[in-house]
Amino acid sequence: MIVLGIESTAHTFGVGIVKDEKPYILADARAEYVPREGIHPREAARFFAEHAASVINKALKQANVDFKDIDGIAIALGPGMGPCLRIGATIARFLASYYDKKLIPVNHAVAHVEIGLLVTKATDPVVVYLSGGNTAIVAYVDGRYRVFGETLDIALGNLLDTFAREVGLAPPYIVGSLHVVDKCAEDGKKFINLPYVVKGQDVSFSGLLTAALRAVRKGTKLNDVCLTLREIAYTMVVEVAERALAHTGKNEVMLVGGVAASPILREKFEKMVRYHNAKLYVVPPKFAVDNGVMIAWTGLLGLKHGVSVNIENSIIRQRWRIDEVDITWRA
Ligand code: FE2
């Protein structure tokens, strides 16, 4: 079975092609919209529309397949930004109807988890999903990925990026393998007073962002603000993940999403899992960020278990939660 998957939820238009036998991943083509400021959804959508055809063709060429070889078209219908989702969905509906293929709805967050399991070989981890738009701790229990903690406002990636941009550290946001906030924190010497907000199993970063920006405006040394900001933010996430690990009794933790690449964050998680005799898996950056392969792979798992959708019902869902999806292939 071969599935082509399309990712277009935020800044990446990605097309992946996968097969249900080794080497699994046949193609991985992408075009990334890189904004100067935060993502402008309509501009990203225009960029996707302009690049879609060439990315699809590139993927087909890489995989050396034709549409006649493909069994299904998988599409990330959410969560994400409306204008961006609509471009991918329109193209996927067209391909499915024109070539008479099954259309497979994929939840973007579920796809982050599934590609992580494929590439890290973790089997049943507590998943820490950290990206520009998401901060969630999830784990598989009784047929679904249940949420064991999430952000009440902005995501961890958004916190770091917005702070960096507001104080003039970015763009670019990543230098070498480090986020500019991590880089700036290297010369931090002392901790300042910033809010640490964990409510039950949930985290909140917006007050931390406001307080950090206020501290910079008042003349506090930027390196000290960066050091405190990232120590507090990362520790909040580790705390919530640690409780989820203890509660579920699992013995694996997997980091996914763009922010998972941070070596500083990884070090904190290494210490925590060692304490619980658990194992840490980190999805490599190439597959930790948004890509079409994860959509194709999750679509393939779904299609093998009868998941598909009629074109009329293939609506996009900007706020489609991970815990609303039945994980039929694991049941
Ligand atoms: Fe993502």
pLDDT at 177 over 90: no
pLDDT at 38 over 80: no
Supply the pTM of this predicted model: 0.93
Whether 233 and 246 map to the same domain: the answer is: yes
- Determine the structural domain holding residue 186 and report its residue range: 114-285
Q: Determine the distance separating the centroid of ligand 1 and the alpha carbon of 108, expressed in angstroms.
A: 6
Whether 180 and 316 map to the same domain: the answer is: no
Count structural domains, the chain: 2
Whether 33 and 119 map to the same domain: the answer is: no
- 187 inside domain: yes
| CATH number of the domain enclosing 127 | 3.30.420.40
Whether 81 and 179 map to the same domain: the answer is: no
Higher local confidence (pLDDT), 39 or 263: 263
Q: Determine the distance separating the centroid of ligand 1 and the alpha carbon of 70, expressed in angstroms.
A: 25
- 329 inside domain: no
109-141 pLDDT, tens digit per residue, is 999 999 999 999 999 999 999 988 889 999 999
Q: Determine the distance separating the centroid of ligand 1 and the alpha carbon of 219, expressed in angstroms.
A: 35
Instruction: For residue 310, name the pLDDT band (cuts at 50, 70, 90).
Output: very high
Whether 298 and 269 map to the same domain: the answer is: no
Whether 130 and 215 map to the same domain: the answer is: yes
Q: Determine the distance separating the centroid of ligand 1 and the alpha carbon of 135, expressed in angstroms.
A: 10
- 29 inside domain: yes
Whether 69 and 133 map to the same domain: the answer is: no
Whether 83 and 189 map to the same domain: the answer is: no
Q: Contact at 8 Å (CB) between 230 and 157?
A: no
140-175 pLDDT, tens digit per residue, is 999 999 999 999 999 999 999 999 999 999 888 888
Whether 235 and 156 map to the same domain: the answer is: yes
Selection from 124, 113, 139 nearest residue 243 by Cα = 139
Q: Determine the distance separating the centroid of ligand 1 and the alpha carbon of 57, expressed in angstroms.
A: 23
Whether 118 and 74 map to the same domain: the answer is: no
In the block, residue with structure tokens 């060439």: 54
The whole-number pLDDT of residue 131 equals 85
Q: Determine the distance separating the centroid of ligand 1 and the alpha carbon of 257, expressed in angstroms.
A: 6
Q: How far apart are CA 256 and CA 228, in angstroms?
A: 24
Q: Determine the distance separating the centroid of ligand 1 and the alpha carbon of 185, expressed in angstroms.
A: 26
Which tokens is 14 given?
């990605």
**Environment class of 177 (CB within 10 Å of its CB; exposed 0-12, middle 13-18, buried 19+):** exposed
Q: Determine the distance separating the centroid of ligand 1 and the alpha carbon of 314, expressed in angstroms.
A: 20
Q: How far apart are CA 70 and CA 5, in angstroms?
A: 11
56-91 pLDDT, tens digit per residue, is 999 999 999 999 999 999 999 999 999 999 999 999
Whether 270 and 300 map to the same domain: the answer is: no
Whether 99 and 125 map to the same domain: the answer is: no
Which tokens is 207 given?
């007050």
